[in-house]
Homo-oligomer: A and B are copies of this chain.
Amino acid sequence: MEITLTMPDWAVTELQRLPAVIPSLEDRMAEVIRFSRLNFENGTGGPFAAGVFERNTGRLVVIGVNRVVASNCSSAHAEVMALSLAQKLLGTYDLGGPGMPVYQLVVNWRPCAMCYGAVLWSGIRSLAIAGSGPELEAITGFDEGPIHPEWDKELARRGIELIDSVLTEDALRVYRDFAASGSLVYNSRQGG
């Protein structure tokens, strides 16, 4: 009666090698995109990664990667891994609680229908993404689910900053390489 989700060994090693502070947003995204590539190249999950940082200083909390297949858990998307690990490390279920610095989630595309909700509930105050268009689904075949038509406005209504189109081409290159690799695309039901 318990669920355990783990990070792959290579990611634990890579995290230890990263600097404690990554001041520029592009450099943060570059690391997230590098993790997304390492995840599928190492066969430890889909081509998705997400990092939690202090927005204003760039202090790194953690980078999580997709672990659906390895964990037998369809909710183990990169954003859920990163947010849950950050909340564990910081000892709170609300990253936006009183006295906390502004935490930022950096992801290599717009979160799927599930992870969009996970972002809302996490207390994250800033969301930086590599892109938000149909390219991800078109290139990889992953189903991102029904995204709310006012998803960006709904973030703003909850006080969550959105920064779109950070290193878009670098993110797309990983998706193209993933698609060319013939790796598993594990959508669940697509129709009756």
Chain A 56-82 per-residue mask, 1 if CB under 8 angstroms from chain B, else 0: 000000100000110111110000110
A154 in contact with B148 (CB, 8 Å): no
B residues within 8 A CB of A123? 74, 188-189
B4 touches A96 (CB 8 A): no
Known: A96-B188, A114-B120. A73 touches B68 (CB 8 A): no
Copies in the complex: 2
Q: How far apart are the CA atoms of A87 and B67 in the complex, in Å? A: 13
CA distance A129 to B19 in the complex (A): 47
Given contacts A158-B191, A188-B94, contact A74 B4 (CB under 8 A): no
- Which chain B positions have C-beta within 8 A of A113? 113, 116-117, 120, 148
* List of B residues within 8 angstroms of A12 by Cβ: 1
For A1, the chain B residues whose CB sits under 8 A away are 6-7, 11-12, 15, 62, 85
Contact B145 A117 (CB under 8 A): yes
Asked whether A84 is an interface residue with its Cβ less than 8 Å from the other chain, the reply is yes
What is the CA–CA distance of A107 and B94 in the complex, to the nearest angstrom?
24
**10 tightest Cβ-Cβ pairs between the two chains A and B:** A114-B117, A113-B117, A159-B192, A74-B121, A146-B154, A1-B7, A2-B6, A146-B148, A3-B5, A123-B188
Seen from chain A, the residues whose Cβ lies within 8 Å of a Cβ on chain B are 1-7, 11-12, 15, 62, 68-69, 71-75, 80-81, 83-85, 87-88, 91-94, 96, 112-118, 120-123, 125, 143, 145-151, 154, 156-160, 186, 188-192
